[in-house]
Amino acid sequence: MSNQQNYTEMIDAYLTGQLNGEESSRLMELLEQDPALKDEFLLQQDIVNSLRVHRRNELKNRLNNIETGTGVSFNGAGTLKMVAGTALVALIGTGIYFAFQQNDGEGETLNPVEVTLQPDYTPAISEAPAMAETSEKKEEAALQQNKEVYEEIDAPKADAPAFAPTGYQAAKDAGIKSAPAKVAGSVPSGAKKPAAEPAEVVKPEVISFFDEQDASANTPEANTPEDKLNTIRSFSTQNIEVSTVTDKRYSFHYMFFDNQLHIYGEFSKVPYEVLEVNTGTYTRYFLYHNGLYYELNPDQRKVTRLKELNNEGMIKELEITRNEKLKR
Amino acid sequence: MKDQEVLERIGRGDEKALDYLYKKYYRMMTRVVTSNNGTEQDAKDIFQDALIVFWQKAASGKLVLTSKISTYIYSICQNLWRKELDRKSRLVNEAKDGEEYPDHDSRERVKIIQESISALGDTCQKVLTYYYFDGLTMEKIAEKMGFANTDTAKTKKYKCKKKLDEFIKSKYTKSDFLD
């Protein structure tokens, strides 16, 4: 153990770029010879990288909270609560929808889609933040602050330290870029096939509410930099009709206008979700299917192929939303 | 604020300089992306990332600026966006492999570490992150945190790091037992 203590400083210096070439080589040799030391090195590397990620996210959130005209942004634990709250509401809405299902006969041949949802949700909308709080506590944290957003690793992108391990390469790419407004009004679309009707149009329940959160009030963290407080968020989901269409010409396409979304393809085996992200100034729509996200243009009058979403930040946020929903 | 003052402030770790740059150049920098196949959201992300790159370089004293700050940041934005476009086009051509994530154990460990960092006191978090990310010298950390002197900062950093290490190790071992 004392060997490690001696080398702690050396490892630290290496990780902060303070060792010259010769010293670095020497350290690398030592690591090769001493597996325990190597383990310690790897751990320290992870710790230093995580500290960097933490700080980077902090700065990113700080910038995100600065008014530049979109007017909506959020951060840290507040994000989680809002996302969880929305997901909860979406679930309730879905439940209500299934209770009052309606069918429309249309000219097109439609494929009914069944989406498996977790039906065990409970309280009213206003309790959403409390629910999120509970789920947070359930997490491993016996800690006071549990900034789950950091679960998603976000290492410095352009200025990565040379020694960044492969694990972080992926994390780097997948980092959270706190979008100005997230919160998906999750509109899972699914319909059971009734005996008589061959065609179905799914009408999601209209859910409109506003959830204002003051991060400084709700977040118990003393660690929050003072500048990062006072974030106001609001969101609503609009009424979108979703229908699935089977057409030989189009294997994986969509058409979306006047709040009517038609998706073309084989959706009966793998369920899909339609997600709506609403900032103060614009709304974005996404389709989640089979592990991938596709952005939907709400003014897409011509049938077009579904285009994969590659913005890692957005993907991360959508993932959180969906996973929060599934946890319940 | 003139460039020189901005740089001086960043050198001290004054985050208001960061805010200033963000507001001042938001429109200009986001255009790099929005005028080149990017959405407003892409642009915002890229600009924020670029600014943080700039911040880190400037705060750690590694920056040798031979142009205006805006020019420098502009080119960071261009580079980042170009990389992002390349990455997007690659992903479209190949099937997305989806498993870019490190293995489960690594993720678990990182999660434990992140939680431990969040559990640190405010001062420790700041000292450590200023040291490891911003790259501020002990002197500057002492100044920024209001410590008595540089040695105080050094000691604080040492203690905080030790505390963090021990905390992590204790949690890590515990979860091994729980496996």
Q: Are A16 and B135 within 8 A, CB to CB?
A: yes
So what's the pLDDT on residue A103? 52
> Residue A208 pLDDT more than 80?
no
> Residue A108 pLDDT more than 90?
no
> Residue A92 pLDDT more than 80?
no
> Residue A181 pLDDT more than 90?
no
So what's the pLDDT on residue A263? 87
DSSP B90-111: HHHHSPP----SPPHHHHHHHH
Among chain A residues, the shortest Cα distance to B41 is held by A179
> Residue A317 pLDDT more than 60?
yes
> Residue A71 pLDDT more than 60?
no
Residue A75 CA to residue A148 CA, distance in Å, equals 11
Residues of B in contact with A166 (CB under 8 A): 102
- Residue B49 is nearest to which of A47, A52, A158, comparing CB atoms? A158
Taking each helix axis as running N to C, give the angle between helix A128-138 and helix A76-99, from 0 to 180 degrees, rounded to the nearest 10.
Answer: 120
The C-alpha angle B116, B121, B127, rounded to 5 degrees, equals 95
Distance from CA of B35 to the nearest CA of A (A): 17
- Residue A158 is nearest to which of B44, B53, B109, comparing CB atoms? B53
So what's the pLDDT on residue A316? 82
Tens-place pLDDT, residues A162-171? 444 444 444 4
Residue A134 CA to residue A172 CA, distance in Å, equals 30
Measured in Å, how far apart are chain B's first and last C-alpha atoms?
Answer: 56
Residue with tokens 């086009």: B89
Contacting B residues, span 56-95, partner chain A, CB-CB under 8 Å: 56-57, 76, 79-80, 83, 87-88, 91-92
Q: Which of A183, A214, A213, A193 is nearest to A90 (CA)?
A: A183
pLDDT band, very low/low/confident/very high, at A290 (cuts 50, 70, 90): confident
Identify the three-state secondary structure at position A253: strand
> Residue A26 pLDDT more than 50?
yes
- Check if the beta carbon of residue A93 is closer than 8 Å to that of residue A136: no
- Check if the beta carbon of residue A213 is closer than 8 Å to that of residue A163: no
pLDDT band, very low/low/confident/very high, at A180 (cuts 50, 70, 90): very low
Distance from CA of A106 to the nearest CA of B (A): 34
The C-alpha angle A213, A219, A220, rounded to 5 degrees, equals 155
Identify the three-state secondary structure at position B8: helix
Mutate to test the interface with A, among B48, B122, B175 (most CBs of A within 10 A): B48
Residue A112 CA to residue A242 CA, distance in Å, equals 11
Between these two residues, A170 and A33, which has the higher pLDDT value?
A33
So what's the pLDDT on residue A99? 72
Give the distance from CA A130 to its chain's centroid.
20
Count how many Cα atoms sit within 13 Å of the Cα of residue A235 in the half-sphere of its side chain. 30
Q: What share of chain A is helix, strand, coil (3-state, %, to 5)?
A: 40, 15, 45
Tens-place pLDDT, residues B157-178? 999 999 999 999 998 765 555 5
Residue A57 CA to residue A177 CA, distance in Å, equals 8
Give the distance from CA A264 to its chain's centroid.
25
Distance from CA of A300 to the nearest CA of B (A): 17
So what's the pLDDT on residue B30? 94
pLDDT band, very low/low/confident/very high, at A78 (cuts 50, 70, 90): low
So what's the pLDDT on residue A275? 86
Q: Which of B79, B53, B42, B59 is nearest to B7 (CA)?
A: B59
DSSP code of residue A204: P
Residues of B in contact with A292 (CB under 8 A): 96, 98
Mutate to test the interface with A, among B100, B133, B178 (most CBs of A within 10 A): B133
Residue-averaged pLDDT of chain A: 65
Between these two residues, A29 and A152, which has the higher pLDDT value?
A29
Distance from CA of A192 to the nearest CA of B (A): 30
> Residue A271 pLDDT more than 70?
yes
- What's the complex ipTM? 0.91
Task: Please enumerate in sequence order all residues whose Cβ is within 8 A of that of A5, keeping only pairs 6 or more positions apart, or say none.
Answer: none
Residues of B in contact with A70 (CB under 8 A): 40
Tell me if chain A has a CB within 8 Å of the CB of B100.
Answer: yes
Among chain A residues, the shortest Cα distance to B46 is held by A177
Tell me if chain A has a CB within 8 Å of the CB of B147.
Answer: no
Span of A9-13, A235-239, A255-259, B147-151 with lowest mean pLDDT: A235-239
Q: Are B51 and A63 within 8 A, CB to CB?
A: yes
So what's the pLDDT on residue B175? 54
pLDDT band, very low/low/confident/very high, at A96 (cuts 50, 70, 90): confident
What stretches of chain A show up as alpha helix (H) in DSSP? 2-15, 21-33, 35-64, 76-99, 128-138, 166-173, 215-218, 312-327
So what's the pLDDT on residue B48? 97
- Residue A287 bridge partners (DSSP): A274, A294
Q: Which amino acid is at A265?
A: G
- Check if the beta carbon of residue B128 is closer than 8 Å to that of residue B164: yes
Span of A207-216, B6-15, B25-34 with lowest mean pLDDT: A207-216
How many Cβ atoms from other residues are within 10 Å of residue B176's Cβ?
8
- Check if the beta carbon of residue B3 is closer than 8 Å to that of residue B11: no
Token pair for A173: 């790419």
Pairing of strands A260-265, A272-278: unpaired
Identify the three-state secondary structure at position A16: coil
pLDDT band, very low/low/confident/very high, at A299 (cuts 50, 70, 90): confident
Q: Which of A248, A246, A244, A313 is nearest to A277 (CA)?
A: A313
So what's the pLDDT on residue B27? 95
User: Which backbone phi and psi does A207 adopt, to 5 degrees?
Assistant: -125, 120
Residue A266 CA to residue A290 CA, distance in Å, equals 11
Cα-only R_g, chain A: 24
Token pair for A145: 């602050």
Task: Please enumerate in sequence order all residues whose Cβ is within 8 A of that of A276, keeping only pairs 6 or more positions apart, or say none.
Answer: A184, A185, A186, A187, A237, A238, A240, A283, A284, A285, A286
CB crowding A161-177: b at 16 or more within 10 Å, else e: beebeebbebbbebbbb
Tens-place pLDDT, residues B31-84? 999 999 999 999 999 999 999 999 999 999 888 889 999 999 999 999 999 999
Residue B93 CA to residue A285 CA, distance in Å, equals 23
> Residue A235 pLDDT more than 90?
no
Taking each helix axis as running N to C, give the angle between helix A35-64 and helix B40-59, from 0 to 180 degrees, rounded to the nearest 10.
Answer: 120
Tens-place pLDDT, residues B86-118? 998 887 766 555 545 567 778 888 999 999 999
Contacting B residues, span 1-40, partner chain A, CB-CB under 8 Å: 15, 18-19, 22-23, 26, 39-40
Task: Please enumerate in sequence order all residues whose Cβ is within 8 A of that of B110, keeping only pairs 6 or more positions apart, or say none.
Answer: A46, A50, A153, A167, A171, B102
So what's the pLDDT on residue B178? 53
Q: Are A59 and B18 within 8 A, CB to CB?
A: yes
So what's the pLDDT on residue A289? 86
So what's the pLDDT on residue A130? 42
Give the distance from CA A149 to its chain's centroid.
9
Q: Are A146 and B118 within 8 A, CB to CB?
A: yes
Share of chain A above pLDDT 90, in %: 17
Among chain B residues, the shortest Cα distance to A52 is held by B133
Token pair for B122: 């405010």
